[in-house]
Structures are given as structure tokens and as C-alpha cells.
Amino acid sequence: MTRSTRQRERETAAEQEEDSEEGVRECPECNSDNLVKSSDRAELVCNDCGLVVEEEQIDPGPEWRAFNHQERQEKSRVGAPTTQTMHDKGLTTTIDWKDKDAYGRSISSKKRSQMHRLRKWQERIRTKDAGERNLQFALSEIDRMASALGVPRSVREVASVIYRRALKEDLIRGRSIEGVATSALYAACRKEGIPRSLEEISEVSRVERKEIGRTYRYISQELGLEMKPVDPKKYVPRFCSELELSEEVQSKANEIIETTAEEGLLSGKSPTGYAAAAIYAASLLCNEKKTQREVADVAQVTEVTIRNRYQEQIEAMGIHG
């Protein structure tokens, strides 16, 4: 009986120790869990009553001090973080092309030819087999297309992860590497809330729009990506910016989309066409008229689509054009 009680006490003590390690703590004075670390990270202070709960904490930061970005870069002794956008995750060595030594002096012609050979072999041994070479090609394609579309780094990372998952699940067999890479990028854009239409994606890709759509549907279904329908409002700022329209038109277009979507008009409609029609309607209402042709060119839809969506939207809004 005593033994089991001791065992329970030991287990309770171990749990409390784990809780304290995880940082689940309370202020002993006011029982608040609103504890913050001081600016020099040496003290743990209660934000409500000001009690110093812990002092002389271990600082996990570097031992040096830096006051700007340049100093931080000069003093840092670690390399770049790992990235999914490179086939080797950025962990291999890269030999620079500058042909200069550590002091910035030019090297001799003998050394130069030696470095050239080393570089060549370094590039060759970075990929050990055809699978790695294909992965390297696919990730470089994603990087190229992402640069052309002007999407942020996070989208490239997500696209690379999706492509790696497709490769692991053997979804690439029987499909082109470019097709799967483009579909991964399209899916990543939607996941990150920076949508690009299939037309925009196909413009920078070497694959036809139909194949991109087909491959995207297959990959998203097999990997269970759970994509939500694209919100037309996500396209409004970019389209308005390209058309040089004011903030007033932008907010009016968003209002039109919200009001008409509540009435169920958005169901089954292309989000780019829907956004384009709302921008066209808003530009008329705000006396910043743009032609249907101008809006259609920016949104990459037809004038007929804009006319049809425009008619539906103004009827739903109760505006008679």
C-alpha cells in the first residue's frame, strides 16, 4: 500500500517537472499564467502583478551582440536554413565561380583550371541517380515559374513539399514532370491564399492548360489536399492595381462580391470572371469607367463572361444599368 502511494507521488512529481519544462507555469502571487521573459531574457516576470518568478535563466541566444542586419550577418557562424526547394535541401557544398581566394585575391591559372574541374565534378556528384536528377529538374521548374508569377518564397516551399509528396506516393508515373510540377505550384498558390488562374499558370508553364487542370485534380484527390473554392475577392486588389483603379473601386467591388455571393450567384462560376465583372460594375458606379475589353485582358476572361456576370450582379444588387 505504501509502495503504491510512493509510486503515485513519484509520478505526480515527474508530471509537475514535465509541466515546468514545457513552460506551463503560474505566478505564485496572483495565480496568473500571463508570464513574459524580460528583454535580456534573464528573468521571467508576471505581466499582471510584476513579480519576478524566475531569474538568471539560461539564454539560448548567441553570445555576441549585433545592432543591425549587416553586423548580424557578419557575426553569424551558421549557414543557410534547410529548404525543400532544393533536391538536397541545401545541405551540399557549393564551389563559388569567382576564382578568388579567401582574401579576395585572384588565383593562378593552374589553380583556376583545378577549381573548374572540381566544380564540374561537384555538380555531377550532387545527384546520385536519375530520380534525384528528375527531382532537381522539377524543383528548378517550380522555382522558374514561381519567379515568373512573382509569388513569395512560402509558395515555392509549399509547392516543393506537394511535389515531394506526389513523388513519394508514385503519382508521377505516366505523367510529365513539368505537368506535376506546374500542378503542385497551382495547388500551393491556392493553399497560401495567393490564387493564380490556370491561364496565368499555363502562360509560364511548358504544359497545356487542360493537362494542368487534369493533373491538379488527380494530385489534390490522391493527396487529400482539401482545397476550398477560391474567393473572388482575392483577385480584386491585383486586378485593380493593374487597371490603375482607386481604393474606392476596390472596396465597392468587394461589396458587390459579398452581396451577390450571399444570394448564391457565385456557385459554379469562375472566380476570375466574377471578380472581373464586379470590378467593371464598381468602376462604372465610381465614375472611373474602364471598358469590358480592358478588364477582360487583365483578368484573362472573355468580354461575354464579364457581360453575363455583370448583368447578374447588377440585377441582384437592384441596380438598373
Q: What is the CATH number of the domain that holds 168?
A: 1.10.472.10
| Residue 46 falls inside a structural domain | no
- 240 annotated binding-site participant: no
| Residue 161 falls inside a structural domain | yes
| Residue 156 falls inside a structural domain | yes
What is the reported pLDDT for 2? 43
Residue pLDDT, tens place only, 8-17: 555 555 555 4
| Residue 65 falls inside a structural domain | no
Residue pLDDT, tens place only, 37-66: 876 667 888 888 888 888 776 767 777 778
170 or 59, which is more confident: 170
Instruction: Name the least confident of 14-18, 136-140, 267-271, 312-316.
Output: 14-18
One domain for residues 203 and 265: no
Residues 182-211 have a mean pLDDT of: 91
One domain for residues 207 and 238: no
- 286 annotated binding-site participant: no
| Residue 217 falls inside a structural domain | yes
For 158, the grid coordinates are 509549399
Q: Which of 189, 205, 223 is the last residue of a domain?
A: 223
| Residue 63 falls inside a structural domain | no
Q: Which of 195, 223, 251 is the last residue of a domain?
A: 223
What is the reported pLDDT for 27? 85
| Residue 1 falls inside a structural domain | no
Name the percent of the chain lying above pLDDT 70: 90
| Residue 123 falls inside a structural domain | no
Expressed as residue numbers, the domain containing 279 is 232-317
Q: Which of 223, 247, 268 is the last residue of a domain?
A: 223
Choose among 280, 275, 292: nearest CA to 249.
Answer: 280
- 49 annotated binding-site participant: yes
Q: Which residues of 163-198 are buried (b: 16+ CB within 10 A; e: fewer)?
A: bbebbeeebbeebebbbbbbbbbbbbbbbbebbbbb
- 189 annotated binding-site participant: no
One domain for residues 200 and 259: no
What is the reported pLDDT for 20? 46
pLDDT at 179 over 70: yes
* Number of domains, the chain: 2
One domain for residues 200 and 143: yes
One domain for residues 184 and 212: yes
One domain for residues 167 and 243: no
- Length of the chain in residues, anyone? 321
pLDDT at 193 over 90: no
Q: How confident is the model at residue 237 (pLDDT cuts 50, 70, 90)?
A: very high
